[in-house]
């Protein structure tokens, strides 16, 4: 078997001079931050950075206060691995991708820590304001296409934390806050659409009452466990709840 000798310095120079994308073009829905221990030499650090950035992953220097966590003769790099797939197994997939890349390129880098990056984007307790033209409500009662378009067109959307406060937000917009775009109360109307009212997250909210689904399901499961002969009740309860849930 012939072994091809690769000039590592030339390879590193080629990777470094290649234009790396600022954001990978492939879609991703998982972000994993990985701490790497890289051999503390300029060549190894630059090669590891180039290989990781070539995948479209953001890389930066680790600024931790305890170098012993990285190891002697090692330098820390933080890389954000971006993958597409299920939440389950995303961290392991990121670790495997980096370890495979290190083996393929014989790059001196090892995974030290990996954590899934997540934000609570499903729940937004802020108030959403809409700016429309003055008289849009009256125009909405007209049946002309132009009037309906005017009634439903939002000229501006402002999202602020806490409950709705039209007076405060109106004053701030008149003063040129946020984007600084003009807000004329003679021409513009600020409103909060139904269902878009936020709340103050610092105030604890009471626990919601148990739903009928959970109560019936708990009763049916307990009945089936204590009395095996009545397992048909579990199926009957689930089927009825499923029918009413639709």
- What Rg, from alpha-carbon coordinates, does the chain have? 29
Predicted pLDDT at 208: 55
Q: Which residue has the tokens 């190894």?
A: 44
Which residues, 6+ apart, have CB-to-CB distance to 130 below 8 Å? 154, 156, 157, 158, 190, 191, 192, 193
Helix axes 8-17, 42-54, angle to 10 degrees: 50
- Give the model's pLDDT for residue 227: 57
- Residue 78 near residue 112, CB atoms below 8 Å: no
3-state helix, strand, coil in the chain (%, to 5): 40, 20, 40
pLDDT at 34: 98
* Contact (CB, 8 A) for 133 and 104: no
The pLDDT assigned to 26 comes to: 77
Find the helix or strand (DSSP H, E) in which 189 lies. Answer: strand 188-191
pTM of the predicted structure, to 2 decimals: 0.64
In sequence order, which ranges of the chain are alpha helices (DSSP H)? 8-17, 42-54, 90-105, 136-140, 145-152, 166-174, 212-226, 231-245
pLDDT value of position 121: 86
Mean pLDDT (10-residue bins), the chain, 246 residues: 45 46 72 97 97 96 91 96 94 97 97 96 90 70 69 89 93 92 91 88 63 60 56 55 44
* pLDDT, position 232: 56
């Amino acid at each position: 078997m012939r072994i091809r000798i690769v000039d590592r310095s030339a390879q590193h120079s080629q990777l470094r001079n290649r234009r790396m994308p600022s954001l990978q073009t492939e879609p991703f829905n998982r972000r994993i931050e990985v701490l790497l221990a890289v051999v503390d030499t300029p060549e190894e650090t630059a090669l590891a950075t180039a290989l990781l950035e070539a995948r479209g992953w953001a890389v930066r220097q680790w600024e931790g206060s305890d170098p012993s966590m990285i190891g002697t003769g090692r330098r820390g790099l933080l890389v954000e691995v971006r993958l597409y797939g299920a939440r389950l197994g995303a961290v392991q997939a990121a670790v495997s991708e980096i370890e495979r890349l290190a083996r393929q390129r014989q790059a001196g880098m090892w995974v030290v820590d990996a954590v899934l990056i997540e934000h609570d984007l499903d729940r937004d307790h802020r108030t959403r304001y809409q700016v429309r033209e003055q008289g849009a409500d009256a125009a909405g009662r007209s049946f002309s296409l132009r009037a309906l378009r005017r009634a439903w067109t939002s000229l501006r959307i402002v999202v602020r934390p806490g409950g709705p406060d039209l007076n405060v937000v109106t004053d701030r917009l008149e003063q040129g806050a946020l984007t600084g775009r003009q807000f004329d109360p003679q021409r513009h109307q600020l409103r909060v659409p139904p269902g878009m009212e936020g709340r103050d997250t610092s105030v604890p909210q009471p626990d919601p009452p148990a739903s009928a689904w959970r109560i019936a399901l708990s009763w049916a499961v307990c009945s089936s466990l204590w009395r095996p002969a009545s397992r048909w009740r579990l199926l009957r309860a689930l089927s009825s709840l499923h029918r009413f849930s639709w």
